[in-house]
């Protein structure tokens, strides 16, 4: 193993092959690995053992924050800052400012979704070792790959290479990290 190694990249010929390979990689106990496909493969996230996304939590937090902020803003303006008694109507009610509360809810929920996705995906990441690999560039066209990283506790270059070849990988190569 070289200090510049990022991991091993294995190429598979079909969606069925990569699906079964992902099941086997997870069963083998690897934890620092990822699969890359040019199209969605149904059930691949479950085969990889991925849990449900946490992005909806950010969406809920943003939506509740927006609704609360809009409610407090309308209350402050109508009941406290500039109370205007028109026709004996109350200074504050939930009925009339509902469009403001709804729109603020939607706006901050969308921002919560966007920034939550960026945060959980650790974006923006301006450089990744896979971006420099010529073979990886074909993942957006016709390659189905699995990359097992060097930092995985079960990683051993020879054993991992043999393991991936036994799974039916058509090509296994070392990905170098440029320093």
**Given pLDDT bands bounded at 50, 70 and 90, which one contains residue 179?**
low
Q: State mean pLDDT over 37-43.
A: 94
**pLDDT the model gives residue 1:** 61
Region of poorest pLDDT, from 18-27, 93-102, 107-116, 160-169: 93-102
pLDDT attached to residue 136: 87
Residue 38 has pLDDT above 80, yes or no: yes
Contacts of 38 by beta carbon, 8 Å cutoff, 6+ apart = 139, 140, 141, 142, 143, 144
Give the pLDDT confidence score for residue 95 in this predicted structure: 86
Tell me the pLDDT band of 178, cut-offs 50, 70 and 90.
confident
pLDDT in tens, 51-74: 999 999 999 999 999 999 999 999
Q: Does residue 6 register a pLDDT over 70?
A: yes
Q: What is the mean pLDDT of the chain?
A: 92
For residue 170, what pLDDT is reported? 93
Q: Is the dihedral of CA 155, 119, 112, 76 positive or negative?
A: positive
Pairing of strands 5-12, 33-36: unpaired
Name the percent of the chain lying above pLDDT 90.
72
pLDDT tens-digit map of 69-127: 999 999 999 888 888 888 888 888 888 889 999 999 999 999 999 999 999 998 988 88
SS3 percent helix, strand, coil of the chain, rounded to 5, is 50, 15, 40
């Amino acid at each position: 193993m070289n200090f510049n190694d990022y991991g091993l990249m294995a190429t598979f010929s079909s969606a069925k092959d990569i699906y079964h390979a992902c099941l086997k990689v997870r069963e083998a106990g690897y934890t620092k690995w990822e699969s890359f496909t040019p199209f969605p493969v149904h059930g691949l996230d479950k085969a990889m053992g991925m849990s449900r996304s946490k992005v909806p939590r950010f969406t809920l937090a943003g939506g509740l924050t927006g609704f609360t902020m809009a409610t407090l803003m309308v209350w402050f303006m109508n009941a406290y800052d500039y109370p205007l008694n028109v026709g004996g109507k109350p200074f504050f009610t939930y009925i009339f400012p509902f469009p403001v509360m709804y729109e603020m809810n939607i706006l901050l929920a969308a921002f919560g979704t966007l920034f939550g996705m960026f945060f959980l995906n650790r974006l923006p990441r301006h450089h990744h070792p896979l971006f420099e690999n010529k073979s990886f560039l074909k993942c957006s066209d016709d390659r189905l790959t699995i990359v097992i990283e060097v930092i995985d506790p079960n990683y051993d270059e020879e054993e991992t290479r043999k393991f991936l070849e036994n799974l039916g990988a058509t090509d296994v190569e070392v990905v170098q990290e440029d320093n």
